[in-house]
């Protein structure tokens, strides 16, 4: 198997914990691979068709729309079709995580996309354990969505890399917050 193929992760199955919650509403499932989800992912992560060392992630090998793999060889090329498959897998993997930790009563398609983008950027545990998700889960949706971008005191939230404020991260948090606030 060549390096290009090895970089394409296997599409994830829906986790048992998510399935135990019941049938995933069709609109939510469709949102994860919608054009809006792909466009949003590629807008914030880029879509780089080679493995590169991500400076904001300490040199972690990264490719396509932000997929990381410590074993990937920097410089390995990928095709557009390969990145599309990688990005689909990323959206499903992180989207399933969000579906597993967020109360579906408070999810809309756009909110799921916003929270999935948040999880892709800060990590699954960070997103699911965040005050944002905790608030959404108890019905304080607006407060929870606001916490994606701002702390309760109004300071930028989740907008630093290596201890330094990054305006681009705050811009992304604001976009995720806007999606989160969407009711559809």
pLDDT digits (tens, 9 = 90+) for 43-58: 999 999 999 999 878 8
Cα separation of the two ends of the chain:
43
- Is the predicted pLDDT of residue 6 greater than 80, yes or no? no
Confidence of residue 144 (pLDDT cuts 50, 70, 90): very high
pTM, two decimal places: 0.92
Q: Is the dihedral of CA 80, 86, 89, 90 positive or negative?
A: negative
Mean pLDDT of the chain: 94
Separation between Cα atoms, residue 43 and residue 172, nearest integer Å: 9
pLDDT digits (tens, 9 = 90+) for 7-35: 888 889 999 999 999 999 999 999 999 99
Beta bridge partners, 160, equal 165
Q: What proportion of the chain, given as a percentage, has pLDDT over 70?
A: 97
Residue 155: strand, helix, or coil: coil
- Is the predicted pLDDT of residue 5 greater than 70, yes or no? no
Average pLDDT (160-165) is 89
Q: What is the dihedral of CA 14, 69, 107, 139, to 10 degrees?
A: 120
Which run of H or of E encompasses 12?
Answer: none
């Amino acid at each position: 198997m060549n390096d290009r193929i090895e970089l394409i992760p296997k599409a994830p199955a829906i986790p048992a914990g998510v399935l135990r919650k019941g049938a995933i509403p069709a609109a939510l499932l469709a949102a994860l691979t919608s054009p809006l989800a792909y466009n949003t992912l590629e807008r914030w992560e880029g879509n780089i068709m080679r493995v590169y060392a991500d400076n904001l992630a300490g040199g972690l090998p990264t490719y396509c729309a932000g997929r990381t793999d410590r074993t990937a060889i920097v410089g390995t090329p990928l095709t557009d079709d390969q990145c599309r498959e990688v990005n689909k897998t990323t959206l499903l993997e992180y989207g399933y995580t969000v579906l597993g930790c967020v109360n579906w009563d408070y999810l809309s398609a756009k909110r799921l996309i916003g929270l999935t983008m948040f999880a892709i950027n800060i990590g699954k545990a960070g997103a699911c354990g965040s005050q944002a998700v905790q608030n959404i889960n108890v019905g304080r949706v607006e407060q929870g969505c606001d916490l994606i971008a701002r702390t309760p005191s109004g300071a930028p939230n989740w907008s630093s890399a290596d201890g330094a404020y990054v305006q681009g991260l705050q811009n992304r948090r604001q976009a995720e917050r806007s999606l989160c606030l969407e009711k559809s």
